[in-house]
Structure 1
Amino acid sequence: MRETNQNSDSTTPLLSASQHLSYTTCQTTGASLNHTVEDGIYTLERQPEKWNEPRTNFWRVLATFYSFIVVGANDGVYGAMIHYLGKYYNADYKTVSMVFLSPFIGYAAAAFGNSWIHERFGQRGIALLGTGMHIIAYLAATQHPPYPALIAIFVLSGLGNGIVDASWNAWIGAMDSSSQLMGILHAFYGLGAALAPLTATYLITNRDWKWYEFYYLMAVAAGVEFVTSVAAFWSARGSLSQAQDPDSRGDDNMSPGTPDSLNVNAPPKHPTLESLRMSSTWIISLFLLVYVGVEVTIGGWVFTFLVDLRNTPPSVAGVVTFTYWAGLTVGRVCLGFLTPYFKRQRLAVLAYLGACIILHLTFCVVDDLLLSAITVTLIGFFLGPLYPEAVIAQAKLLPRYLHVAAVGFACALGSAGGCVFPFITGATAEIYGIKVLQPAVLAMLFLCLALWLALPARRPGARQPAFSVSSTPSVLF
């Protein structure tokens, strides 16, 4: 094979089942390839991509960063909105907590549809569908429809979140310097989740905005997300659409009799089902399900907890919600760069979980507002790196050809936890009061700890991880 042009842009999806690369793909992607033998199958596989090679990746990474601001804002604003939705629609805790549960249907659909969307339409399709659904949902919310219709709108926004969240997570998680990049990616999620409730609370309480008027801002932000994501990933088409495009086959690069593929085996027809046969997929998926439940339950209900139970003014409670998400953001950046220095990164995650449990117990027994704000902020700080580190651990335990399906499934199911657990908390609070927030979060933290301890040390039968993460962080910028 002649030398590839490292500066050429890819016309195939960057998030791909990399063991099935045709000769033409090798000539056009500019990816670094490696010959491997895995489970008795001789394959050509991509080396981990870099954030700045080819140069198109730089703009694509920036687009994913901005997209996660919108994804975070979508999730973070629920915490402030349920307080005002309850008053506007005269709804109790159980009814208003449907806001958290409604995106579950969207996330579930994304979990099983992401692999097909990517194969058929590529990352271009992810950008078009995911961000487009954001715009439609937010514009519909500005019309303050009846409550059942609003729930249906949040289902649509959940589908958009699930498509974008799972796809960008899987792509960034398989990159070189993934701990640092994933930390930054999820820091932008935390940034959006921190700014959205603070902005919404300020505009509603100080500027007399209606709750639904805030979604005009969300629609504008989603419009920018649409433009940046589609522009960055426009050339990243699906493998099926490329195969049907005569101009993309590169026949000039193939001699008559050259086989269409350099691999001896066809790709798995059902990568999601195949990945679900692996225990690591289920353990990581359940870990993310519970972890995101913790993250969104705290961020979604701490505002109501402080206002209704501890008689905190709404403006102050909004600031505490902001500091929680801000702590999450800072933790993902700082600890994301620190974690790779640990010889055993899994021990670092255990340490972070232990810190969260101790801090949450402090929040439970201390009624002082200042100390409560500090502990909530520090809980966010130590929760921050858990999601990206779990995605990285999943990718390291998987065969390369299952990254798209399995990591995407885990991320989408994890996001569903942000719907289910806050709803359960709200439904329980309707019976026993909002004080159930504290034991509910504590139970979820211990469950996260048990699931992480159950994670296998390495993929069965593998001589080495699917890709390596350097123990020493590289300089990104």
Structure 2
Amino acid sequence: MSLLLLAYCAFISLGLPDGLLGVGWPSMADDLGLSTDTVGVLLFASTVGYLISSVAAGFSLARLGVGRLLAGSTAMASLALAGYAVSPALGLLVPCALLAGFGGGAIDAGLNAYAAGAFGPKHMNWLHAFFGLGVAIGPLIMTGVLSGGLSWRWGYGLVAGAQALLAIAFAVTARAWVRAGAAEGPPDAQQQTTASPRFGTTLRMPAVWLSVAAFAVYVGVEMATGLWAFLLLTEDRGLSAAVAGFCVSAYWASLFVGRVVQGFTVERLGTTRTLAAGLVGMLAGSVLVALPGPDWLAVAGLMVIGYAAAPVFPLLTLTTADRVGAAHADRVIGMQMAATGLGGALIPAGVGVLIERVGVHTLGPSLIVLSLVLVMLYAVMTRRR
């Protein structure tokens, strides 16, 4: 139970840094004399670190174990955030962003790999819901700091302190994570640790690349919907900025609520049915967004997409070993986490190019195509287990 509670705290903590930059960047740019678009440099550096560490996490897990990997990676993230807090110029911010990406990618892959073997579908949904809670708390921390007349550096300092405490907790419980993983993980976990397959064998499995593609497309749909919905509602459906902003917030809230609610229902309906229903629901919501009509139709589509998408990421992670085998699962989960970084960046950007050249009304059809691709990938994956 103590490890489960620590895992929940870890998922909250994992989401905290994501929300700091958006609120804090205007103050950071003004304080350091940077242009607004310089934030892209930091995002690029952190993405590179995240991709590298996510892919490498499977190897690190085999050598270090879950507890040590999480302790070291969280300490790395804490150090990076502390570096943000004391950075005098962009020259120090960039390596800190790279270091934060390294830490975040390893934490994300390590936690998901452990949770996929140790916890059931209910807790998998709830853990990812708590990640969303962390993302929501991050902006509140930075807003509170700035509203209190303090520097943005205090926001990063506070979260760095929280990450340091979490790193200590991981270090103290490192051996317990090993015992729990062996006790609650997949039946052939011992074989996996004693005879890991070659990486080339993993890469030659079609199910691996189908899984990687599915994660990239899923996160692309989730992020593209949240990124471009405001533009659709204001420019195409005529809603005011205030109402449209509330609707976008409601979309993200529906994702959180969906994970909490479906955490209760998944054990009764089963993982396969819940996943299939979620994918079909994402497609149905995309159709509602694409249909010409009153503004409430598009808003309803956003809510359907958010609620239906809620269990897809955690349950696809949970069932990784079913698709590729337990011996390959840790590596593939790391690759899947890396794919989320690529998909979350490239697919929304591609949709943005289409919107710029054709019109914002293309968001709905784009989501339909992406949702259909995701459904087909899942159908093929389940046949090639």
Match of 2:117 among 159, 174, 179: 174
Match among 210, 216, 227 for residue 289 of structure 1:
216
**Distance verdict in 2 for CA 1:307–1:67, change over 3 Å:** farther
* Aligned twin of 1:190: 132
* 2:78 is the counterpart of 1:135: yes
CA distance in 2, matches of 1:430, 1:146: 34
**Conserved? CA contact 2:210–2:381, under 8 Å:** yes
Distance 1:376 1:61, change over 3 A: same
AA at the equivalent of 1:174 = G
User: 1:130 deviation in Å?
Assistant: 2.5
List gaps (5 residues or longer) in structure 2: 178-189
Please give the TM-score of this superposition, normalised by the length of structure 1: 0.64
CA distance in 2, matches of 1:61, 1:371: 40
Contact kept? 1:306, 1:312, Cα under 8 Å: yes
Which residues of 2 match residues 253-268 of structure 1 at below 5 A? 267-268=195-196
Aligned length: 369
Give the whole-Å Cα distance in 1 for the aligned partners of 2:331 and 2:6: 22
Q: Partner amino acid for 2:35? A: Y
Q: Separation in 1 of the partners of 2:149 and 2:283?
A: 38
Deviation at 1:391, TM superposition (A): 1.3
The percent of aligned pairs where both chains have the same amino acid is 24
Query: In 1, Cα distance between the equivalents of 2:242 and 2:160?
Result: 26
Counterpart residue number, 1:69: 12
SS in 2 for 1:456: helix
Cα separation, partners in 2 of 1:425 and 1:458, compared to 1, 3 Å:
closer
Helix, strand or coil at the partner of 1:230: helix
Change (3 A) 1:90 1:185: closer
Task: Find 1:358's aligned residue among 265, 284, 297.
Answer: 284
Q: Which amino acid aligns with 2:48?
A: I
| Distance of 1:432 and 1:209 partners within structure 2 | 44
Q: Give 1:236's aligned amino acid.
A: A
**What SS is found at the alignment partner of 1:268?**
coil
Unaligned ranges ≥5, structure 1: 1-57, 240-261, 460-477
Pair 1:273–1:103, CA change in 2 (3 A): farther
Q: 1:121-270 maps to which residues of 2 (within 5 A)?
A: 121-142=64-85, 153-176=96-119, 178-196=120-138, 199=140, 207=147, 213=152, 216-236=154-174, 267-268=195-196, 270=198
Q: How far did 1:329 drift?
A: 1.4
Q: Of 333, 357, 371, which aligns to 1:407?
A: 333
Report the CA distance between 1:390 and its aligned residue. 0.7
Say if 2:51 and 2:341, in contact at 8 Å, map to a contact too.
Answer: no
Contact 1:165 / 1:411 at 8 angstroms: preserved in 2? yes
Q: Of 244, 254, 267, which aligns to 1:327? A: 254
Q: CA–CA distance in 1 between the matches of 2:156 and 2:245?
A: 18
Structure 2 CA distance for partners of 1:202 and 1:223, relative to 1, 3 Å: closer
CA offsets per residue over residues 432-476 of structure 1, 9 Å max, x none? 6666544443332222112111113464xxxxxxxxxxxxxxxxx
Q: Distance in 1 between matches of 2:35 and 2:359?
A: 20
- Distance between the aligned counterparts of 1:306 and 1:143, measured in 2? 40
Matched, 1:454 2:380: yes
Output the TM-score relative to the length of structure 2.
Answer: 0.77
Cα displacement (A) at 1:367: 7.4
Secondary structure of 2:118 counterpart: coil
Provide closer, same or farther for how the CA distance between residues 225 and 440 of structure 1 changes in structure 2, counting only shifts above 3 A. farther
Shift of 1:267: 1.9
Query: Following TM superposition, by how much is the alpha carbon of 1:182 offset from its aligned partner in structure 2, in angstroms?
Result: 0.5
- Rate the CA distance shift 1:449–1:78 in 2: closer, same or farther, 3 A: farther
Structure 1 pair 122–457 and aligned structure 2 pair: CA distance change class (3 A): same
Aligned equivalents of 1:148 and 1:305: distance in 2? Answer: 38
Indicate whether 1:104 and 2:50 are aligned: no
Asked which structure has the greater CA Rg, the reply is: 1
Q: Give the AA of the match of 2:159.
A: A
C-alpha deviation, 1:141, in angstroms: 4.3
Report the RMSD for the aligned CA atoms in angstroms: 4.1
Q: How much has 1:410 moved relative to structure 2?
A: 2.1
Aligned to 1:338, which of 245, 249, 265?
265
Alpha carbons 1:107, 1:161 under 8 Å: kept: yes
- Structure 1 position 308, deviation (Å): 7.1
Q: 3-state SS of the aligned residue for 2:174? A: coil
SS across alignment from 1:174: helix
- Answer 1 or 2: which has greater helix percent: 2
The structure 2 residue matched to 1:89, chosen from 11, 28, 35, is 35
Alignment-mate amino acid for residue 172 of structure 2: W
